[in-house]
Amino acid sequence: MSSLVPPPSFRFLRFRAPAADTIWLGDARAFLLATPDARPALIDGICPHRGGPLALGSYDCRTQTLRCPWHGRRHARRQLLARAWPAIRIGKDWVVAVPGTAGSGICFAGARVTLSAAAGAPGDSDIGRPIAP
């Protein structure tokens, strides 16, 4: 009997930034956090406090925290990175590993989160294309 734990299954998704910076996959969502003080990262977009949309929050470069728009709770960048989705950037494209348990529907919307709350209304786009691992 083996004590090895099987690796988690992932789906790989490729998309172009900045045309789509927030990803919804079923109930899971992530957003591209791009700040002048660190490398961009795809961050889990659901606030662990009350499930608020972190992509609409405001980032403070001085304290390196992201403020949830629903209840004002601040999240340290290092804590957000611990929950980041595995991703790499290839030119203008991002390739992200999404846990296989995420829903099958894919919808992109949103604006890049930089130093303040994202502006503008989100819109649907069909630019995502699943790729083989």
| Residue 126 covered by a domain | no
| Residue 131 covered by a domain | no
Q: What is the mean pLDDT of residues 37-47?
A: 81
**What pLDDT is stored for residue 123 in this prediction?**
32
Edge-to-edge strands, sheet with 22-25? 38-44, 28-35, 22-25, 106-109
Q: What is the mean pLDDT of residues 71-97?
A: 85
| Residue 20 covered by a domain | yes
Name the domain count of the chain.
Answer: 1
Q: What is the pLDDT of residues 88-121, one digit of tens each?
A: 888 878 787 776 654 445 444 444 333 222 333 2
Please report which confidence band the pLDDT of residue 69 belongs to, taking 50, 70 and 90 as the band edges: very high
Range of the domain at 19: 10-114
CATH of the domain at 17: 2.102.10.10
- More confident of the two residues 19 and 77: 77
| Residue 3 covered by a domain | no
| Residue 30 covered by a domain | yes
| Residue 120 covered by a domain | no
**What pLDDT is stored for residue 21 in this prediction?**
61
| Residue 51 covered by a domain | yes
| Residue 84 covered by a domain | yes
pLDDT at 124 over 50: no
